[in-house]
Amino acid sequence: MSGDWVRVAAPATTSNIGPGFDTFGLAMSEPCDIIEGRKIDSGFEITEVSGPGSENIPTDPKINSVSIAAERVLKRCDAEFGIELKIKKGIRPCSGMGSSGASAAGGAFLANILCGEKLGPVDMILCAAHAEDVISGGLHADNVSPCILGGFTLIRSYEPFDVIRIEPPANLGMVVALPDIMVATSDARKVLPREVSVRDLVFHVGNASTLVYGMMTGDLSTIGRSVKDAIFEPAREKLVPFLKEAEKTAMSNGALASFLGGSGPCIMSFYDTDVGFGDVIAEKVKEVYTQNNIGCDTWITKPGVGCRRI
């Protein structure tokens, strides 16, 4: 048995966003992974993987984010079929742009369509987060939540799982600069401190609160000054050459905030689309890397919707 192909787009996402380690996430309107699947009698078969970094994507369904998440959905739905998958990466792995999260969320979303959309968004997020746990060495749903729900998402609690979606301001622009450096989330999680000080905790709670206020009220200036991280980004700085120089360059060329995207190495910058400068920020941050003989891709993007059928 083989059914009709179903095709979904799963967007890149940025997570942490300064003070919201493992809790804040934001979907981007581009780039996206494209995942296609169709029902087969049983099991999982990954018959095609293409796009940037696809040479590093395993085709063994046991260790592939798409199939791990999709399998979880089939189990939850008591489905009695398997899925053949084709994966077209638009987001390269080890980028800090939610590559494994897009694969996981896309896999869960696609499998749910094949199951007759039995699961709601939160269950899809949990299936995708399971894949993130297996692949990246730590349960975190801050990429898969915005990837499913779109917009800006806040995870209040993991147990029980409780996530809230907020529509980000329409004039929030995003610039992504991705240097030719690979940082695996599993490695970036190993360098994190096990304990934090009360001082840093207070700093993070304050900035996280005002960042959410800014997202809810469209106050870009408050968002800009709230994207601060005293704990996680400093611990990871050593994994990303020229990170501080890139951030300073973005800030001096019109960015409202510039920060390590997820576990890195991408450098994310926010800017006001009513004011502009997205192209200047992209060009100048890219230059920081190219002048140091490191290639760098850039995207000028904005917040976007979650997984969708195409």
Sites of contact with ligand HSE (CB under 6 A): 15-16, 21-22, 140, 142-143, 185, 188-189, 262-263
Q: What would the two tokens of residue 253 be? A: 């060329």
Give me the residue whose beta carbon is nearest to ligand HSE.
262
Catalytic annotation present for 14: no
Q: Decide the pairing of beta strands 308-309 and 152-158.
A: unpaired
> In 10 A of CB 246, how many CB atoms?
26
Angle between helical axes of 121-136 and 99-114 (0-180°, round to 10): 140
Catalytic annotation present for 185: yes
Q: How far is the CB of 210 from ligand HSE (least distance, A)?
A: 20
Residues contacting residue 197 through CB under 8 Å, at least 6 positions apart: none
Q: How far is the CB of 266 from ligand HSE (least distance, A)?
A: 10
Residue closer to ligand HSE, measured from CB, 36 or 233: 233
Residue closer to ligand HSE, measured from CB, 262 or 303: 262
User: Which residue out of 14, 185, 298, 301 is catalytically annotated?
Assistant: 185
Report yes or no: 224 and 271 within 8 Å, Cβ to Cβ: no
Pairwise CA distance, residues 289 & 295, whole Å? 6
Q: How far is the CB of 63 from ligand HSE (least distance, A)?
A: 18
Residue closer to ligand HSE, measured from CB, 189 or 228: 189
Residue closer to ligand HSE, measured from CB, 253 or 301: 301
Residues contacting residue 95 through CB under 8 Å, at least 6 positions apart: 53, 178, 261, 265, 266
User: Which residue out of 132, 233, 249, 301 is catalytically annotated?
Assistant: 132
DSSP three-state, residue 29: strand
DSSP three-state, residue 149: helix
DSSP three-state, residue 150: coil
DSSP three-state, residue 119: coil
Residue closer to ligand HSE, measured from CB, 18 or 254: 18
With tokens 């951030």, the residue in question is 247
Pairwise CA distance, residues 237 & 248, whole Å? 14
Q: How far is the CB of 247 from ligand HSE (least distance, A)?
A: 16
Q: How far is the CB of 184 from ligand HSE (least distance, A)?
A: 10
Residues taking part in catalysis:
132, 185
